[in-house]
């Protein structure tokens, strides 16, 4: 079914890693137990579901990924807006954002219109949202409401759409449309998250940003970023990069991912919540899971597009 | 079938957080009552009931609104099996009798005792219907359901809903006490819905 050898190896590796994690999680449950282990096992269970959905979408070619990421954008924006100070006057602007801007952005990615998809939201969306909101006549908190919706669109839609956009890159001697590059990004960014969590739980002591996220430590950060860079380097054969380039890319992805996680944590802290949602058992909401991808995807896309 | 699709869509659009402080439905008739800010209120509440209960749980809805147009009629009659009542006029008292009949026949009801949709800032005083229903059927269990954020999903006067995470909290059940006056009972029922923000997220 899958003709691409490298893709097959990637998927086998992914399934193997998850199987290993499941085995380790069940062993820990029987030998140690406790809430942390139960939470870890819930996360592993959700990882299976997310991986299967993601791989199934990627294997259908471009369309499946576009639909999946468009849906993720909607769910993420939904969680973002829920915690935002929007009011009655913003209802129409939000309806436009969900049902016109999101589909349009992904259609533009799908038809490979790079010139427009890279400016739709930062330029036209930016101006349109402000205009649509001012037409409602509600001026109280105008800038705050407008900026929040613009920010939500940038983070949850614009940034996320760069992930499936990787499939339309034109790289000499490399077939990006198979989804391997997308898989590479998602594996590195998510393994960086997981490994930071694991290192932090094991040896984490010194908090890196105590006022923002008490669970993030220097030990977790260094260990996680280093290991994720190793994971990415080990996958160089599935990318257009040589091992050194793959290492550099993975490092950048992991750092950007960390920044994304931290920024989204600050928003949650400001709103007084722990998670954006509760859709994914153990993980929180969709936005909690893709916060690191938000920042990593556009940077990885542009670096690859510029250098390869 | 349509019911399952509608329930899934409602939860995808507006669902997110649900909590059962009340015991789960056991097949005995119940009256769910909630604060009212949106047309989606009863749809989401209904979508969080176990599928086996949905068919036997009938939203009480205003005839003047739901009988306008074939689409509204289809949904309220076929999908939700709504109990259409007249909000005002000579039949207003007859509405309570019809609700009581349903409960006596073993069906559950979804009721919005404020009588109309509010903006979400406050819960309006309850109409007397809930009290009279309990007088007619004193054994029926009442389940207060607090709905939060649905006024942002589909506010009054808007046509297109916006996806938003909302909260549905089924609170501990209550009943009409012996000798309780109308005012005390309605105030108690209304208070049971409040405290929307107090219980940590």
Q: What is the pLDDT of residues B97-126, one digit of tens each?
A: 889 999 999 999 999 999 888 888 888 989
For B165, which of A86, A98, A277 is closest by C-beta distance?
Answer: A277
Q: What is the structure's pLDDT at B200? A: 40
Q: Is residue B166 part of a domain?
A: yes
CATH code for position B171:
3.40.1130.10
Q: Is residue B112 part of a domain?
A: yes
Q: Structure pTM?
A: 0.89
Q: Are B17 and B168 in contact (CB under 8 A)?
A: yes
What confidence tens digit (pLDDT) does each residue in A145-174 have?
A: 999 999 999 999 999 999 999 988 888 888
Q: Is residue B106 part of a domain?
A: yes
Nearest CA-CA partner of B51 in B1, B120, B92, B13: B1
| Weakest-pLDDT range from A301-305, B2-6, B88-92, B121-125 | B88-92
Chain B residues whose CB is inside 8 A of the A77 CB are 163
What confidence tens digit (pLDDT) does each residue in B36-64 have?
A: 999 899 899 999 998 888 888 999 988 88
User: Which chain B residue is nearest to residue A73, measuring alpha carbons?
Assistant: B163
Q: Residues A69-84: what's their mean pLDDT?
A: 93
Q: What is the phi-psi region of residue A229: left when phi exceeds 0, alpha when psi lies from -120 to 50, beta otherwise?
A: alpha
Element (H, E) at A156: none
Q: Is residue B121 part of a domain?
A: yes
Q: Is residue B75 part of a domain?
A: yes
Q: In terms of residue numbers, what domain contains A174?
A: 5-307
Chain A residues whose CB is inside 8 A of the B201 CB are 272-273
The whole-angstrom distance between residue B136's C-alpha and the CA centroid of its chain comes to 19
In chain B, how many domains are there? 1
How far is the C-alpha of A279 from the C-alpha of A271, rounded, in Å?
19
Helices (H), chain A: 5-31, 35-59, 62-82, 91-96, 102-110, 114-117, 126-134, 142-153, 160-165, 180-203, 218-234, 243-271, 286-307
Contact B160 A95 (CB under 8 A): yes
What confidence tens digit (pLDDT) does each residue in A82-127 have?
A: 988 888 889 999 999 999 999 999 999 999 999 999 999 999 999 9
Q: Is residue B198 part of a domain?
A: no
Q: Is residue B201 part of a domain?
A: no
What is the token pair recorded at B94? 């007859």
Q: In terms of residue numbers, what domain contains B133?
A: 2-193
In chain A, how many domains are there? 1
Mean pLDDT of chain B: 87
Q: Are A200 and A188 in contact (CB under 8 A)?
A: no
Q: Is residue B40 part of a domain?
A: yes
The 10 Å Cβ neighbour count of residue B131 is: 21
């Amino acid at each position: 079914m899958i003709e691409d050898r490298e893709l097959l190896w990637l998927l086998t590796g992914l399934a193997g890693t998850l199987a290993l994690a499941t085995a380790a999680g069940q062993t820990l449950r029987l030998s140690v137990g406790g809430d942390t282990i139960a939470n870890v096992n819930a996360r592993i269970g959700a990882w299976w579901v997310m991986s299967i959905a993601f791989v199934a979408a990627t294997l259908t070619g471009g369309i499946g990924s576009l639909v999946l990421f468009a849906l993720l954008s909607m769910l993420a924006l939904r969680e973002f807006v829920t915690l935002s100070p929007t009011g009655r006057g913003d209802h129409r602007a939000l309806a436009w954002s969900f049902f016109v801007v999101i589909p349009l952005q992904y259609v533009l990615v799908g038809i490979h219109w790079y010139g427009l998809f890279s400016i739709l939201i930062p330029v036209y969306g930016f101006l349109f949202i402000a205009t649509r909101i001012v037409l409602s006549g509600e001026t109280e908190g105008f800038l705050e409401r407008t900026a929040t919706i613009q920010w939500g669109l940038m983070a949850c839609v614009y940034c996320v759409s760069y992930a499936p956009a990787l499939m339309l890159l034109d790289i000499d001697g490399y077939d990006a449309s198979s989804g391997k590059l997308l898989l590479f990004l998602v594996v590195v960014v998510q393994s960086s998250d997981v490994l930071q969590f694991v290192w932090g739980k094991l040896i984490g002591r010194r908090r890196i940003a105590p006022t923002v996220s008490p669970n993030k430590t220097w030990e977790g950060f260094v260990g996680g970023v280093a290991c994720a860079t190793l994971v990415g380097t080990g996958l160089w054969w599935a990318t257009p990069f040589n091992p050194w380039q793959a290492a550099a890319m993975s490092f950048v992805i992991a750092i950007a991912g960390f920044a994304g996680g931290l920024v989204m944590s600050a928003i949650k802290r400001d709103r007084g919540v722990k998670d954006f949602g509760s859709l994914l058992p153990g993980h929180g909401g969709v936005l909690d899971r893709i916060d690191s991808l938000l920042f990593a995807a556009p940077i990885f896309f542009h670096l690859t597009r510029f250098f390869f | 079938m349509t019911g399952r699709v509608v329930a899934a869509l409602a939860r995808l659009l507006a669902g997110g957080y649900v909590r059962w402080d009340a015991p789960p439905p056991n097949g005995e008739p119940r009256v769910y009552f909630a604060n009212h800010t949106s047309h989606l209120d009863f749809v989401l509440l209904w979508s969080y009931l176990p599928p086996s209960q949905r068919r036997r749980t009938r939203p009480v809805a205003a005839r003047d609104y739901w009988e306008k147009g074939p689409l509204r009629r289809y949904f309220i009659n076929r999908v939700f099996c709504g109990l259409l009542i007249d909000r005002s006029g000579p039949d207003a008292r007859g509405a309570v009798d019809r609700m009581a009949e349903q409960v006596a026949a073993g069906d559950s009801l979804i009721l919005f005792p404020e009588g109309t949709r509010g903006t979400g800032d406050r819960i309006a005083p309850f109409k007397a219907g809930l009290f009279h229903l309990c007088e007619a059927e004193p054994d029926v269990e009442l389940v207060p359901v607090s709905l939060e954020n649905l006024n942002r999903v589909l506010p009054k006067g808007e046509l297109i809903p916006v996806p938003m995470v909302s909260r549905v909290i089924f609170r501990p059940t209550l009943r009409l006490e012996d000798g309780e006056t109308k005012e005390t009972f309605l105030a108690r029922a209304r208070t049971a819905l409040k405290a929307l923000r107090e219980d940590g997220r």
